[in-house]
Amino acid sequence: MTPRRKRMVIIALCVLGVGIAVALILSAFNQNLMYFYSPKEVASGKAPNNRPFRLGGMVVKGSVERGTASDLTVRFKVTDFAQERTIAYRGILPDLFREGQGIVAIGTLDAQGVFVASEVLAKHDENYMPPEVAQALKDGAANKMAQP
Amino acid sequence: MIPELGHFALSVALAIGLLGAIIPLIGAQRGNLLWMSLARPAARAQLVFIALAFLALAHAFVTNDFSVAYVASNSNSAMPLAFRISALWGAHEGSLLLWVLLLAAWSCAVSFASRGLPLAFVARVLAVMAIISVGFLLFMLVTSNPFLRQLPPPVDGADLNPLLQDFGLVIHPPMLYTGYVGFSVAFSFAVAGLIGGHLDSAWARWARPWTLLAWCFLTLGIALGSWWAYYELGWGGWWFWDPVENASFMPWLLGTALIHSLAATEKRDVFKSWTVLLAIGAFGLSLLGTFLVRSGVLTSVHAFASDPARGVFILAFLVLVIGGALMLYAWRGASMGVSASYATTSRETFLLANSVLLTVACATVLLGTLYPLVLDALNLGKLSVGPPYFNSVFIPVMTPLVVLLGLGQHARWKQDRFATLCRELRVPLFGAVLLLGAAVAAISAARSPRAIFGLALAAWVIASTLIGIVQRCRARQAPWRAFFALPAAYLGQHLAHLGFAVTIVGVTLVSLNTVDLHTRMAPGDETDVAGYHFKFVAALPLQGPNYDGTEAQFEITRAGQGPLRLSAEKRNYRVRAMPMTEAGIDAGLTRDLYISLGEPLDGAAWSVRLSVKPFVRWLWLGAIMMAAGGLTALLDPRFRRVSARRAARRNDEQRVTS
C-alpha cells in the first residue's frame, strides 16, 4: 500500500470506530434516561408503564406500614399535596427517611398502580428537600388552592 | 480582631495577585527583566498572605469563635479538635479558601523549582496562575467571604454535617483539591507556551513532573473519596456515578491522557497541539467540577445550599479562562511547527489511540453529567442518567484501552514492525493465559463469563508489564544488575500500570460477586451469608462527644476459623438531630465483611445489612499503586538534570532572540 492509501484506510477505520462509539453511547443513553414525575403526573397517566422512572414527594404522616415477616417490606404513601401514591419497597430505608420528609424513589408501576421501588433516596441533610420534590410540592399546593 | 486580619490578608493577596498577573506578563512581552522578575516574589508573597488568612480562619474554628458566621454554621464546641479544624473545609467558603491556598502553594513551588527555566517563560506561567488566583479571590471576597461576622453571636455552633465528621473528610478534600489545582500548573505551562510560541519537547519536559504530581494527588484524592463513601455512607457502595464524583473523575481521565501525551511530546516531539488541548481541557474540567459542586445545581452530599450568584460567577470565570485559552490556541496554535513523523505501528500510535479513548470516556461521562442539568436549565423536564448508562458505556470504551495498553508497552518509538511486535507479544499472551487460569482456579468468585472477561484484561496488563521488565533486563549482560539500574521513570510507569490492573481486578470481582443481605435481626439471631455465619450478640447504648446511639455487636464465624467480633453503630447527632450509620467492617485482602444497621423495628429487632465483598480493597490498593508509580517516576533524576541543561541552552537562545 502506498502511504497515501494507508492513511486513507486509517482515517476510514477511525471514522468507523467513532461512529460505532457514538451509536453505542447514544443508544445506552436513551435506554437509561430516567424522568421524574410527581404523584399528580402519575395519576394523570403521564408516567410510563414499562420503564423505570423517579417518583418524588413528601412521605405522608402515618402512612408507613411495615410487613411482619423478616423480609423488611415496607409500604408508604408520598404526596405532592394534590395526589398521593403508594410506594412498596423491600430493604433498608436510608437514615433520613422519615414521615414528613421529601424523598425520591426509583422504580416502576405495577398493575395495581403501586409504585414498586428498587431504591429510595433521602438526602443527607435534615433541611434538604430534593429540588424536584420542592417544585412538585409547590405546584401541587398551588393547584389545590386554585381548585376550591 | 483576628477574623478581620484574615479578611484583610485576603484583600492584600488579591492586590498582589493583580500585580503578579499584569506586570510580569507585560514584562515578558517587552523583554523587561525587572518586570518579569517580579513574578517569583509576587507568588511567594501571595502564599504568605493567603496562609495568614487560612490560619486566621483556623484560629476561629479552634477557639470556637461563633461570632464568625461561617464557624457558627459549621462547627460546634462539642466537636473534637481534629474535626473542628477539618470543618474549615467542610463547606463552601472554607473549601474555596483551601482552593486558593493550594493554588498559591503550587505557584510558590513553581517559583522555587524553576531556576533552570527561561525567565520570560516562568514569568508567564506565574502570571497565568496569578490570574486564576485573582478570579477565585475576587469570587471569595464578593460572594463567599468566610470572615463575615454574625452579631450577636449564637451560644453554640450549628455543628458540622455528621457525615463529614470523619477522618476521611480530614484528608479527602485537601488531597483532591491539590490534584484539581495542580492541573492549573499544566494549564499555565500550556498558555505560557502558546503566548511565547515555543511548544517543543523541552516545554513538555518542564511540564511533565508538575502534571504527574498533580495527577498523583488527584488519583489519591478520588480513591480516598471512594473509600470514605464506602465506609461512611452506610451502604457499602464505592462509586455511584454521582455528578460530584464524575466532576473529579473527568479531570482524572483527561489528566491521564495528558501525562501520556506529554511523554510522547517530550520523547518524540509529536502531538504538540493535542497535548496543549488536553492541558487546557484537564484544568477546564477541574474548574467545571468546582462550578458543579459549588453552584448548588447538583443534588448531592457535596452540594451545599448556596445562591445562584455564585454559580454564575464561576461559570463566567470558567468561560473567560477556558475560552481565552482556546482562543489563544486558535490564534497561536499554528506556530507550533510540524511534528516529527512516526510509522503506523509505533508506540506513538498506541499512545495516541489511548489518549483518544480516554478522551472519549471523559466525553461520555460529561454527557451523562451535564445533559440532565442542561435540560433542567432549559425547562425541558427533569431527568437523571443512572449508573447503568455509565456502566454500559464505560466498559466498551475501557476494554480496547486496556488491550492497547498491553500492546503499546512493547512497541518501539517511531517505528516498529507489526510482525515483530506480534512475535514478541506471544510470551506475555501466554503469561496472561496462565495467570488467568491460576486466578480462576484459586478464586471461586471468578468463575462467571463476565468475571473471566474482567480478569483476562487485568491478567493481560500484568503479564505484559512484568514480562516487559524481564525482557528488558535479560537483554543486558547482568540481568539482576540491570534490574536495579532501571530508571525510576520506567519503574514508575510499570508500577502504575500494575496498579491499574489491580484496580480492574477489584472492580470486576466486587461488582459481580458481592453478596448482600438485608434482613431483620434481634439480639441472639443468627444467619449465614456466603459461607460466613453472622450472630447478632447484643445491642448496647452508646455515648459520644456530640452524639448518642446504639452499638450492635456481632460475632462472625466461618468453618475452621475462630469467632471474629465486629460492631456496627447507629448514631444520633444531637445538634442536628441527624441519624448516622457507622458500618462495622472487617477488611481483608480477598474479602471485606460489612455490617450496617438500618433502623430499629418492633421489639429489640433491627433491620440489618450484611455483606461479603470480595476483593474490594484491591480498588484502592490499585489506586495507591498508580499514585506510587507516578511519584516513583518523579524521582527520576532525568527530569531535573536534563531540564537544567536544556534550559541553560534555551536561556542563551532567548537572550539572542529577545
For B110-154, write each residue's pLDDT tens digit: 999 988 889 999 999 999 999 999 999 999 999 889 999 988 888
Give the best residue of B599, B601, B610 to mutate against chain A (max A CB count within 10 A). Answer: B599
Q: How confident is the model at residue B221 (pLDDT cuts 50, 70, 90)?
A: very high
**Strands A33-37 vs A53-59: parallel, antiparallel or unpaired:** parallel
Residue A2 has pLDDT above 80, yes or no: no
C-alpha separations of B405 from B81, B82, B410, B457, B629 in Å:
46, 43, 9, 10, 16
Phi first, then psi: give them for residue B380, nearest 5 degrees.
-100, 15
- Convert the pLDDT of each residue in B11-36 to its tens digit: 999 999 999 999 999 999 999 999 99
Mean pLDDT of A70-94: 88
Q: In chain A, which residue's Cα lies nearest the Cα of B364?
A: A25
β-strand partners of B606:
B521, B600
Q: Which run of H or of E encompasses B631?
A: helix B617-634
**pTM score, whole prediction:** 0.91
Interchain CB distance below 8 Å, B163 and A93:
no
Q: What is the pLDDT of residue B656?
A: 42
Interchain CB distance below 8 Å, B367 and A25:
yes
Q: In chain A, which residue's Cα lies nearest the Cα of B298?
A: A131
- Convert the pLDDT of each residue in B300-347 to its tens digit: 444 444 556 777 787 888 899 999 999 999 888 766 666 677 877 889
Which positions in chain A touch B386 (Cβ < 8 Å)?
Answer: 32, 34, 106
Cell digits of residue B144: 463567599
Mean pLDDT of B69-77: 90
DSSP letter string, A65-102:
EE-SSTT-EEEEEEE-SS-EEEEEEESPPPTT--TT-E
Residues within 8 A of B (CB atoms), A 39-58 only:
54
C-alpha separations of B328 from B194, B200, B280, B655 in Å:
7, 17, 11, 25
Question: In chain A, at which residue ranges do the beta strands (DSSP E only) sit?
Answer: 33-37, 53-59, 65-66, 73-79, 84-90, 102-109, 115-121
Q: What is the pLDDT of residue B336?
A: 67
- Convert the pLDDT of each residue in A31-51 to its tens digit: 888 888 889 889 988 888 888
Q: What is the pLDDT of residue B169?
A: 78
Select the more confidently predicted residue: A85 or A36: A85
A15 touches chain B (CB under 8 A): no
**Nearest Cβ partner for B520 among A18, A24, A70:** A70
Which positions in chain A touch B389 (Cβ < 8 Å)?
Answer: 28-29, 31-33
A138 touches chain B (CB under 8 A): no
Separation in Å, CA of B256 to nearest CA in chain A:
20
Residue with cell 506578563: B25
Minimum mean pLDDT range among A2-16, A68-82, B531-545? A2-16
Strand arrangement, sheet containing B526-529: B526-529, B532-543, B547-558, B561-573, B578-582
Q: What is the pLDDT of residue B1?
A: 83
Phi first, then psi: give them for residue B338, nearest 5 degrees.
-75, 150
Q: How confident is the model at residue B649 (pLDDT cuts 50, 70, 90)?
A: low
- Convert the pLDDT of each residue in B278-312 to its tens digit: 999 999 999 888 777 766 555 444 444 455 677 77
Long-range contact pairs involving B653-656 (C-beta distance under 8 Å, separation at least 24): B654/B118, B654/B120
**Nearest Cβ partner for A32 among B360, B388, B599:** B388
A34 touches chain B (CB under 8 A): yes
Long-range contact pairs involving B199-204 (C-beta distance under 8 Å, separation at least 24): B199/B272, B199/B275, B199/B276, B199/B336, B200/B269, B200/B272, B200/B337, B201/B265, B201/B266, B201/B267, B201/B268, B201/B269, B202/B643, B202/B646, B202/B647, B202/B650, B203/B265, B204/B262, B204/B263, B204/B265, B204/B266, B204/B272, B204/B275
Give the best residue of B302, B359, B393 to mutate against chain A (max A CB count within 10 A). Answer: B393
Q: In chain B, which residue's Cα lies nearest the Cα of A18?
A: B360
C-alpha separations of B318 from B131, B252, B267, B283, B323 in Å:
12, 18, 32, 10, 8
CA distance B263 to B574: 53
Q: How confident is the model at residue B657 (pLDDT cuts 50, 70, 90)?
A: very low
Q: What is the pLDDT of residue B338?
A: 65
Q: What is the pLDDT of residue B553?
A: 94
β-strand partners of B526:
B535
Q: What is the pLDDT of residue B434?
A: 92
**Nearest Cβ partner for A92 among B383, B518, B577:** B518
Interchain CB distance below 8 Å, A36 and B389:
no
Minimum mean pLDDT range among B138-147, B416-425, B511-520, B586-595? B416-425
Interchain CB distance below 8 Å, B385 and A32:
yes
Residue A145 has pLDDT above 80, yes or no: no
Q: What is the mean pLDDT of chain B?
A: 88
Residue B449 has pLDDT above 50, yes or no: yes
Q: In chain B, which residue's Cα lies nearest the Cα of A132?
A: B382
Cell digits of residue B541: 447504648
